[in-house]
Structure 1
Amino acid sequence: MPTAHSRSCPPHCGKQGSGTPEKVPPRHASVTPARQVGQVGQGRQSEQDRLNGQKGQNTPETPPSEPIFVARQPIFTADRDIWGYELLFRHSGTAATAQVEDQDVATARVIADGYQLAQSQIAADKRMLINFPRNLILSGAAFTLPAHQCVPEILEHVEPTPDILEACAKLKAAGYTLALDDYVGQPGYEELLALTDIVKVEVLGMNTMKLKLVTARLRQRPVLLLAEKVETAEMFEACRELGYGLFQGYHFSRPEIVPGSKVSSAQLVKARLLSMLCRDFEIGELAHVISRDASLTFRLLKYINSAAFGLRMQVESVSQAIALLGQNPIRQWLMVVLVADMNPSHAAQELTFLSVLRGRFLEQTARAARLPASADTMFLVGLLSRIDVLMGMPMAELMEQIPLEPDIRNAFLGAPNPLRQWLACVEALEEGRFDEARRVLAIYGIAPKDAAAVRLAATEWTQRILGQRD
């Protein structure tokens, strides 16, 4: 079950309808030869198609005019590739409870609206775990979701009663991969475990002896083990050695510090160029910087000639591209490219995506409301907020080498100023702590529905500028 402690690209998830991450090495796999998770999900399409037509009967729909917040928490393989995401949802209504009175309504709206939003933001080969409480399992609402991509996650408080077991068996027969949330070895779950493909074990706070005992019991079953709330590198390695194949938690959004490591000269040049881009400059100066780098030139021309711009004629020069885009859009594009180049590894792709999304969301929010800094400054704050993770260096050391305004530097170092407050807001949105985010929005008079709409537009912009969609 998602909490403030859980966090949450591109291995394919296996065969169609499979829950097996293709890149989990056999030595870490928790699936026994008796039955591979990859054999699940080939089910009866006709039954699913029939039930898809009943979507309106199974799930109350949120009016299209009311945007919703959809947070995604990445799930990693043992190779640190992204296998999929857990989706978290909150309606943007103005009531204190955000118009979500219980888990049933929340999950129903994910099915009705949230999945459609998430589908446009997530690669087709990534799986999506969606929380299912008891009543939603019994309603058959899961049949409105595609079995090859969506994984119903049975919440930990759902008791394995006969009607639940029957409903889960029907999902299995239709080709769905099932996940069981927060298993800690409790008795009475044997029949439900027999229907489950992925078991999430909350490892934070569990002593070593109990973790080994719970894991050993699960290893006797043909299930894939997912370690949830992985907070440290040591915890990640310990779970991987125990046979866990999937991982979720804060560890993957924290910098891995190597003692004695230094920022490379190339990284430092990029970071300082980012800072330079925050001031006013001549178009010719920017054209000169880009033209000196063959990779930047190639990517700029590829970007502006993409289908997103719909240009009738091919743009063939940097100066022409800059003239067409304008100073601010070209500056933002270059900033994004520089951040993406800080760490081009597969493991850093999600952090790059979140950094760019943060920047765009804060920039556009600043344009619509009276935020504590200019839109350009807010873009930089969001964009560089995870630079310590991307560069694998403590933020304090980086701030000594990158010239930034004092307010930005202090916010990155944790000082309680207004910029730090907005970073906390975007972090809360990412982690599904929507009520915390709403409190910050309220201080600045921003309606949650407006923030949700801005965040959706920012997500689409981020995908486009990073080349994740046409």
Structure 2
Amino acid sequence: MIITSIRPNGEINVGFLSFLKSKPESAAAAEVEAAASAETVALAEDAAVLITRTEIIDKRQRLAGYRFGASAAEPVLVDALVVAQVPEFAQQRMALVPLSAEAVAAGLHLPLAAPHTVFLLEHTAADAAAILRAAGSQVALHGVSLKDEDAALLSSANLALLSLNELPLTEFQALCKQLHLNYPHLKLLVDGVATWDEQRMLLSWGASYFMGPFLTTTDKVDPDAKIDQSRMTSIELLNLLRTDAELPAMIEVAKRDPGMTYQVLQWANAPANGQTTKVTSLQQAFMVLGRNQLYRGLTVSMFRLGGGANKERDESLLEVALTRARFLETCSKLPQARRDELFLVGLLSLFDVLLGVQMEQLVGKMHLSDDIRDVLLGKEGVYSPYLTMVLLLQRDKVGPALEIAAQLEIDIDSLPQVGQAAFEWAQASMQHTGAD
């Protein structure tokens, strides 16, 4: 399968829609299984390791990388991260990996070394930091202070991890500003950032990276906010698709937006669709793509239509949403129609954040099934435990998530492979984000 990208201007590159095709239940299950390498399967036979990933957002609101972890002994953790291709990921983006001084002394870090791997140590691990620096690896320190005994390590470290909640706010501000002043080369990564207001505050105090749930929270929702016209056109077409409208009505809506017409034709002419002659009309394009594939593609493209000041943030949201949606689609043995709806739940669950409007306002504009509507509005329903489960996993709350998985009769032993496959799928679908 050829993968290209989703273009920055909202156009999805032609290879991407092959990822979005709904597959028969047996085929989808086989794809997930194939996505996990033989090594992953072998590892799971001994002890399944569920890897957690916490988003690391930079100053420009880009998803710069992840903090990787697992509830496992360090040798098992390292093996799992190698199998999950974290060193390959860290060729391009930050992979923050916590290790003990003993693990570094034993050389456990060596298989994970890569240009953008950052090993997280306690501030007392001077010998381990020296080993990593001698090998050319990047070092992050946790638990740092302005005391003299931390000065030498801070002078040579690349990153300092601070927790927003570990000090009173005035003391935390003083710590950030003094670290920034005394060690200008040192990048500050702050964990526990809950809101965009906190992120902006920390940015003004010199922080470079941020972790916490703020990315997927709404920022200053305006109850009178208007959705831009290109997105409204997409929503109107999505509504027609959901209500099985006649083809002429859908074509009429698509024609209002020249960019959408071009985009749909590009999708239809993708090599994955196997067309021997070029598709030149919207009628042909809609017939080639089919309703389900077109609906998924339009939903994803909503993340690309805004541009402007929020472009980088929207890219980060798309990566989180794709991982969430793919996990929801592939984690269960529900009928395919239900799994298709779970995929949409994963994507739509961030639309209020994306568009800066209240979910009630957004849902009121879209034709959705009652089950999808209920879960998006926070009501109890058939899909609410699935969304709760994936939200817990994305916030590193593995125990409660596994309890819900057991209640849903999901194969818990398969979740490490499902999670890894969903992550890889989302990464692959975005790997050429900046392509023309």
Query: What TM bracket, shorter-length normalisation?
Result: 0.7 to 0.9
Shift of 1:243: 1.5
* More displaced 10-residue stretch of structure 1: 201-210 or 320-329: 320-329
Determine whether 1:198 maps to 2:159: yes
Unaligned runs of 5+ in 1: 1-8, 10-60, 91-99
The residue that corresponds to 1:225 in the other structure is 188
The residue that corresponds to 2:263 in the other structure is 299
**Larger proportion of helix:** 2
Q: Is the 8 A contact 1:370 1:444 kept in 2?
A: no
Shift of 1:391: 0.8
Cα distance, 1:83–1:383 mapped onto 2, change above 3 Å: closer
Structure 1 residues 382-425: Cα deviation after superposition (integer angstroms, max 9, x where no partner):
22101110011232343344443443333223223332211111
Instruction: Give the whole-Å Cα distance in 2 for the aligned partners of 1:134 and 1:314.
Output: 62
Structure 1 residues 254-293: Cα deviation after superposition (integer angstroms, max 9, x where no partner):
1112545412252444334334433334556555554554
The residue that corresponds to 2:209 in the other structure is 246
Match for 1:174 among 120, 135, 141?
135
Match for 1:453 among 417, 422, 427?
417
Q: Is the 8 A contact 2:86 2:112 kept in 1?
A: no
Instruction: Give the whole-Å Cα distance in 1 for the aligned partners of 2:160 and 2:311.
Output: 28
Shift of 1:442: 1.4
Determine whether 1:408 maps to 2:375: no
Cα distance, 1:147–1:374 mapped onto 2, change above 3 Å: closer
Shift of 1:187: 7.2
Identity %: 23
Match for 2:318 among 321, 337, 352?
352
The residue that corresponds to 1:392 in the other structure is 356
The residue that corresponds to 2:100 in the other structure is 133
Cα distance, 1:223–1:259 mapped onto 2, change above 3 Å: same
Q: Is the 8 A contact 2:236 2:253 kept in 1?
A: no
Q: Is the 8 A contact 1:198 1:224 kept in 2?
A: yes
Determine whether 1:378 maps to 2:342: yes
Correspondences of 1:332-371 after superposition (within 5 Å): 332-341=296-305, 345-365=311-331, 368-369=333-334
Correspondences of 1:2-401 after superposition (within 5 Å): 63-64=41-42, 66=44, 69-89=50-70, 100=72, 102=73, 104-114=74-84, 116=85, 119=88, 125-154=92-121, 156=122, 159-160=124-125, 165-183=126-144, 188-204=149-165, 206-219=167-180, 220-221=182-183, 222-259=185-222, 261-266=224-229, 267-282=231-246, 286=250, 289-290=253-254, 292-303=256-267, 305=269, 309=272, 311=274, 313=276, 315-317=278-280, 318-341=282-305, 345-365=311-331, 368-369=333-334, 374-401=338-365
* More displaced 10-residue stretch of structure 1: 414-423 or 263-272: 263-272
Q: Is the 8 A contact 1:131 1:153 kept in 2?
A: yes
Shift of 1:232: 2.4
The residue that corresponds to 1:43 in the other structure is none
Cα distance, 1:314–1:227 mapped onto 2, change above 3 Å: farther
* More displaced 10-residue stretch of structure 1: 437-446 or 179-188: 179-188
Cα distance, 1:446–1:227 mapped onto 2, change above 3 Å: same
The one-letter code of the counterpart of 2:58 is T
Q: Is the 8 A contact 1:231 1:250 kept in 2?
A: yes
Instruction: Give the whole-Å Cα distance in 1 for the aligned partners of 2:87 and 2:324.
Output: 17
* More displaced 10-residue stretch of structure 1: 422-431 or 105-114: 105-114
The one-letter code of the counterpart of 2:97 is I
Instruction: Give the whole-Å Cα distance in 1 for the aligned partners of 2:398 and 2:355.
Output: 29
Shift of 1:62: 5.6
Provide the aligned length of Structure 1 versus Structure 2: 388
Q: Is the 8 A contact 2:140 2:159 kept in 1?
A: yes
Instruction: Give the whole-Å Cα distance in 2 for the aligned partners of 1:374 and 1:427.
Output: 19
Unaligned runs of 5+ in 2: 1-5, 7-38
SS across alignment from 1:345 = helix
Shift of 1:351: 1.1
Cα distance, 1:281–1:402 mapped onto 2, change above 3 Å: closer
Instruction: Give the whole-Å Cα distance in 1 for the aligned partners of 2:268 and 2:403.
Output: 39
Q: Is the 8 A contact 1:89 1:106 kept in 2?
A: no
User: Which structure is higher in RCO with an 8 Å CA cutoff and minimum separation 6?
Assistant: 2
Shift of 1:118: 7.8
Cα distance, 1:117–1:283 mapped onto 2, change above 3 Å: farther
Shift of 1:107: 3.0
Cα distance, 1:417–1:258 mapped onto 2, change above 3 Å: closer
- Could you tell me the TM-score, scaled by structure 1's length? 0.71
Shift of 1:188: 4.2
The one-letter code of the counterpart of 2:379 is A
Cα distance, 1:417–1:260 mapped onto 2, change above 3 Å: closer
- Could you tell me the TM-score, scaled by structure 2's length? 0.76
Cα distance, 1:198–1:417 mapped onto 2, change above 3 Å: same
Q: Is the 8 A contact 1:62 1:109 kept in 2?
A: no
Cα distance, 1:150–1:450 mapped onto 2, change above 3 Å: same
Cα distance, 1:306–1:79 mapped onto 2, change above 3 Å: same
Q: Is the 8 A contact 2:61 2:316 kept in 1?
A: no
